[in-house]
């Protein structure tokens, strides 16, 4: 399977704990995106990388959130001191770096986080 993969698919944690999610993009894609989706809403952009450089961060990305893409391949999203409001589906997407409007994004299946 050459699609975007995410791990884990589900995570249940207690409030105050730290969690880390991993995303493996399609191998030739230079751009990687993180989104968050709460129940009944469309996904909301969090941040994106061009290779290893983090180029844009949403205001949704509080200082408890940090994302990395150290070698320009896989990415991790860490949430420190989780809160119940962090419960959501965290989606990763990747796309080629062609600077054209089509720039289709390929999404992974997501990691569903539940904070108790």
Residues binding other proteins (CB under 8 A)? 4, 31, 33, 35, 41-45, 48, 55-56, 58, 91, 93, 95, 97-110
56 CB-near residues (< 8 Å, 6+ apart): 47, 48
Which CB atom, from 76 or from 80, has the smaller least distance to other proteins? 76
Question: Cβ 94 to other proteins, closest distance in Å?
Answer: 11
Half-sphere exposure of 78 (CA within 13 A, CB side): 10
Q: Hunting for tokens 């809403």 — which residue is that?
A: 41
Give the Cα separation of 95 and 25 in Å (integer): 8
Give the Cα separation of 40 and 24 in Å (integer): 26
Question: Cβ 107 to other proteins, closest distance in Å?
Answer: 3
Which CB atom, from 7 or from 44, has the smaller least distance to other proteins? 44
Which CB atom, from 9 or from 15, has the smaller least distance to other proteins? 9
Question: Cβ 15 to other proteins, closest distance in Å?
Answer: 25
């Amino acid at each position: 399977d050459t699609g975007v993969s995410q791990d884990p698919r589900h995570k249940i944690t207690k409030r105050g704990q730290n969690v880390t999610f991993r995303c493996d993009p399609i191998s030739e894609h230079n751009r990687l995106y993180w989104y968050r989706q709460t129940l009944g809403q469309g996904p909301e952009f969090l941040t994106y990388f061009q290779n290893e450089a983090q180029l844009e961060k949403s205001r949704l990305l509080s200082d408890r959130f940090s994302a990395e893409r150290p070698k320009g391949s896989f990415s991790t999203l860490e949430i420190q001191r989780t809160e119940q409001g962090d419960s959501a589906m965290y989606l990763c997407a990747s796309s080629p770096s062609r600077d054209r409007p089509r720039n289709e994004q390929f999404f992974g299946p997501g990691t569903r986080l539940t904070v108790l």
